[in-house]
Amino acid sequence: MTEPDRELIRVRGLNSFYGRKQVLRDLSFSVEANRIFVIMGMSGCGKSTLLKHLVGLKPSPPGSIYIEGKDISGWNHAQWNNYWLRIGILFQNGALFNSMTVAQNIALPLMVHTNLPKEIIEIMVEMKLHMVGLSGTGALMPSQLSGGMRKRAGLARALSMDPEILFVDEPSSGLDPITAAGLDELLLSLKETFGMTLVVVTHELESAFRIGDQMVVMDQGRIIAYGTPEEIRQMNDPRVQQFLSRRPDEEHRDYDSYISRLCKVKRR
Amino acid sequence: MKRLTDTFGFVGRWILGIFVGLGRIGIFFLSTLRGIAYPPSKTGLVIKQIYFIGHKSMFVIIFTGAFSGMVLGLQGYYALSKFGSEGFLGSGVILSLVRELGPVFTALMVVGRACSAMCAEIGIMRIDEQIDALRCMAIDPHGYLVLPRLMAALIAFPLLTHVFDVVGVWGGYAVGVKLLGVNPGAYWDGVYRSLEWQDIWMGIVKSLVFAVLTITISTYKGYYAGVDRGSRGAEDVSEATTSAVVTSSVTVLVADYIITSIML
Amino acid sequence: MCSVEINRAGDDGDRLDMSLRGKLVRGEVKAVMERMLREIHSSSNLKHVTVNISSLEWIDTAGVALLVLFCQRIRAMGGTFRLVKPNEKVLKVFKLAQVEGFLSIEDGNDRA
Ligand SMILES: Nc1ncnc2c1ncn2[C@@H]1O[C@H](COP(=O)(O)OP(=O)(O)OP(=O)(O)O)[C@@H](O)[C@H]1O
Ligand SMILES: [Mg+2]
């Protein structure tokens, strides 16, 4: 349990590259303990990349990410393991181990890291499956699940160690509105019950405003809005307003380069 | 002149690439060994992998073992009969099998059957972010994915090699004795008398070295499938698998020569 | 830390009152489970088990799983199981896991 209003994650001027291509530009924000932090933005703007930095799957430059005040770029193996034992992650594609059943997927971290008896682990697995609305699917293989079910099984796995910090990449993509609303409630009650801190990437405006305590809106690797849901709603940045009112781009933003590409095709 | 520097540049880059690759695979191997000290416990995983390797390769090994032995019987008979010394057939067959063919063919068969599958499996885990998921569960992917396979191979390779040798001796017997009429007593006598501890030892050393080389190469290729290019496509896995099989096979043959020349 | 306190009562030892104190979390569950199961296996005619958790400060899902397992074992033996006086925080965890009905949770005041 963590007391609220404590800064858990601090990001300062984070830049990120794939090869020469820059995908994150000078990001700065803070995530407070026992809050739901929502990350929104257009597809391809770098949200999943940002999560990778926060969980240590992509190395961050020194001085850009602090967790509980400590710069993660200098962490050693033991410090990372320590951190990884405290967090849970839902990957955008679920990333279930496809050679194991759903139940074995969820049980794996418990089997490796705890001395819990088998019966206890089985009950815990069944409880986690029930929380995400997948009761009775434990014996199935990941390939036998639908996309939305795979996502929820991944969430159940992320919850198996009762993490202090939960990172979720688009929990409700591919889900019907009823199930998606159920997941929103689950995330809220995880925060409420366990005092969890959540970092949630989502495209669903409604769900973002329902669960978020703090949010950022990203566009092309930059943060264009950062604040509480009310502050974001009041912001009169045109791009943010366009995002919130779900208006499509009026014209193709790279119209000239699009035309030049078309012409290149003809010339060859 | 320009062409010359280009050629040198190319060769230089190529050699550099080989050294970088060797360095990386060395680090990969050491990180795998480090996994011994960390959870999870490997026993169950190792048993599963022994079963996997055995189950995948047993049939081909029996099959190729039988035919290798038979062909040795045939060739040996015709070569030896020129000097009227068919009686040495048994020792020719067993020495060729135990020292050379057994370890090499077994390794090549396991590469084709089990190592390719391991590479593909790990490659898929890489492109589907499952390896990342393992890391974020504080489960060391080297220790969890690579080490059990390596340990299993160290047990399975000598056993499978042994199966190959035994089947091969009987294959030689079938052709030499049953088909071509060599005296069975002379055949078995040759088998028992010519085999020495040194030969068996050489066979075991080879199969252990091949186990380490093939498994390390195959899992390494799968583990880094698409990583250099930063891509996550199906073709990364297929490329990794092809490269794993080719590299492992070539390495087995080269290592075989080196070990033989050292131990003879 | 989680400590277990046990009182046997009733005419011929058919009642068992337990109370749990502290935090019933992942690292504690194995030891507590062994202690609790030893207790129920050592008595042949156990009928009523009450677990008082008024001094239990915190529980995680491993702890909840332990209580579920325990309850299920006792019912399978034909006994009754009651869980009394969870605090607010602990009750929330039961609700999230949706086991408060199964565990027959009582305040302990209104019903005896
Ligand atoms: N492995 C990679 N190599 C090169 N570029 C990459 C790689 N992964 C992602 N990118 C690029 O980085 C940018 C951000 O990708 P990211 O996956 O973070 O987007 P996202 O915001 O999560 O999008 P979505 O909402 O569609 O999931 C994209 O432009 C993408 O092309
Ligand atoms: Mg994404």
Average pLDDT over residues A12-38: 92
Give the atom of ligand 1 at the shortest distance from the alpha carbon of A19.
4
Q: Which ligand is nearest to the CA of B229?
A: 1
Ligand 1 centroid vs A92 CA: distance in angstroms?
Answer: 11
Q: Determine what percent of chain A is predicted with pLDDT higher than 70.
A: 96
Question: How many independent structural domains does chain C possess?
Answer: 1
Average pLDDT over residues B200-220: 94
* Domains annotated on chain A, with CATH: 3-267 (3.40.50.300)
Query: Would C71 be classed as within a structural domain?
Result: yes
Query: Would C81 be classed as within a structural domain?
Result: yes
User: What pLDDT is stored for residue B118 in this prediction?
Assistant: 94
Find out whether the beta carbon of A48 lies less than 6 Å from any atom of ligand 1: yes
Query: Would C54 be classed as within a structural domain?
Result: yes
Q: Residue C11: is its pLDDT beyond 80? A: no
Q: Residue A43: is its pLDDT beyond 50? A: yes
User: What pLDDT is stored for residue A249 in this prediction?
Assistant: 75
pLDDT band of C63, cuts 50, 70, 90: very high
Contact C98 A130 (CB under 8 A): yes
Query: Would C10 be classed as within a structural domain?
Result: yes
User: What pLDDT is stored for residue A184 in this prediction?
Assistant: 92
* Neighbouring-strand partners of residue A222: A219
Q: Residue C81: is its pLDDT beyond 70? A: yes
Q: Residue A30: is its pLDDT beyond 50? A: yes
Query: Would C111 be classed as within a structural domain?
Result: no
Query: Would C61 be classed as within a structural domain?
Result: yes
Find out whether the beta carbon of A18 lies less than 6 Å from any atom of ligand 1: yes
Average pLDDT over residues B171-185: 89
User: What pLDDT is stored for residue C9 in this prediction?
Assistant: 66
Average pLDDT over residues B49-78: 92
Average pLDDT over residues B49-62: 92
Q: C69: domain range?
A: 2-87+97-106
Contact A89 B125 (CB under 8 A): no
Contact A109 B139 (CB under 8 A): yes
Least confident of A23-32, A115-124, B188-197: B188-197
pLDDT band of C2, cuts 50, 70, 90: confident
User: What CATH number corresponds to the domain at position C79?
Assistant: 3.30.750.24
User: What pLDDT is stored for residue A150 in this prediction?
Assistant: 92
Ligand 2 centroid vs A183 CA: distance in angstroms?
Answer: 18
User: What pLDDT is stored for residue B112 in this prediction?
Assistant: 93
Find out whether the beta carbon of B84 lies less than 6 Å from any atom of ligand 1: no
Q: Residue B259: is its pLDDT beyond 90? A: yes
User: What pLDDT is stored for residue C111 in this prediction?
Assistant: 43
Average pLDDT over residues B5-24: 85
Average pLDDT over residues B222-245: 89
pLDDT tens-place string over residues A154-207: 999 999 999 999 999 988 887 888 888 999 999 999 999 999 999 999 988 888
Q: Residue A19: is its pLDDT beyond 80? A: yes
* Neighbouring-strand partners of residue A128: none
> Mutating which of C64, C88, C96 best tests the A interface, going by the most A Cβ atoms within 10 A?
C96
User: What pLDDT is stored for residue A61 in this prediction?
Assistant: 92
Interatomic CA distance for residues A151 and A81, integer angstroms:
24
Average pLDDT, chain B: 90
Mutating to test ligand 1, I would choose from A14, A16, A18, A220 the residue with most ligand atoms within 8 A of its C-beta, which is A18
Interface of A to B at Cβ within 8 Å reads 18-19, 52, 55-57, 80-81, 84-85, 87, 89, 91, 93, 95-99, 108-109, 111-113, 161
Contact C96 A131 (CB under 8 A): yes
The residues, ordered by sequence, that sit 6+ positions from B20 with a Cβ below 8 Å of its Cβ are none
Q: Which residue in chain C is spatially nearest to A129 when comparing CA positions? A: C97
Give the atom of ligand 1 at the shortest distance from the alpha carbon of A218.
21
- Give the per-residue SS3 of chain A: CCCCCCEEEEEEEEEEEECCEEEEEEEEEEEECCCEEEEEECCCCCHHHHHHHHHCCCCCCCCCEEECCEEHHHCCHHHHHHHHHHEEEECCCCCCCCCCCHHHHHHHHHHHHCCCCHHHHHHHHHHHHHHCCCCCCCCCCHHHCCHHHHHHHHHHHHCCCCCCEEEEECCCCCCCHHHHHHHHHHHHHHHHHHCCEEEEECCCHHHHHHHCCEEEEEECCEEEEEECHHHHHHCCCHHHHHHHCCCCCCCCCCHHHHHHHHHHHHHC
Q: How far is C76 from chain A (nearest CA, A)?
A: 15
User: What pLDDT is stored for residue C37 in this prediction?
Assistant: 84
Average pLDDT over residues B23-34: 88
Average pLDDT, chain A: 89
Q: Which of residues B85 and B253 earns the better pLDDT score? A: B253
pLDDT band of C112, cuts 50, 70, 90: very low
Q: Determine what percent of chain B is predicted with pLDDT higher than 70.
A: 99
Contact A120 C27 (CB under 8 A): no
The protein residue whose alpha carbon is closest to atom 5 in ligand 1 is: A18
Find out whether the beta carbon of A63 lies less than 6 Å from any atom of ligand 1: no
User: What pLDDT is stored for residue C61 in this prediction?
Assistant: 92
ipTM of the complex, rounded to two decimals: 0.88
Please state, as a whole number, how many other Cβ atoms lie within 10 Å of the Cβ of residue B233. Answer: 12
pLDDT band of C42, cuts 50, 70, 90: confident
Ligand 1 centroid vs A246 CA: distance in angstroms?
Answer: 21
Give C-chain residues touching A162 at CB under 8 angstroms: 26, 60-62
Q: Most confidently modeled of A107-111, B188-192, C34-38?
A: A107-111
pLDDT tens-place string over residues A72-96: 998 998 899 999 999 999 999 989 9
Both tokens of A36, joined, read 């739901």
Q: Residue A263: is its pLDDT beyond 70? A: yes
Q: Most confidently modeled of A141-145, A240-244, B227-231?
A: A141-145
Ligand 1 centroid vs C58 CA: distance in angstroms?
Answer: 41
Q: Which residue in chain A is spatially nearest to C68 when comparing CA positions? A: A123
Average pLDDT over residues A213-222: 91
User: What pLDDT is stored for residue B58 in this prediction?
Assistant: 92
pLDDT band of A1, cuts 50, 70, 90: very low
Give chains near C: 3+ CB pairs under 8 A: A
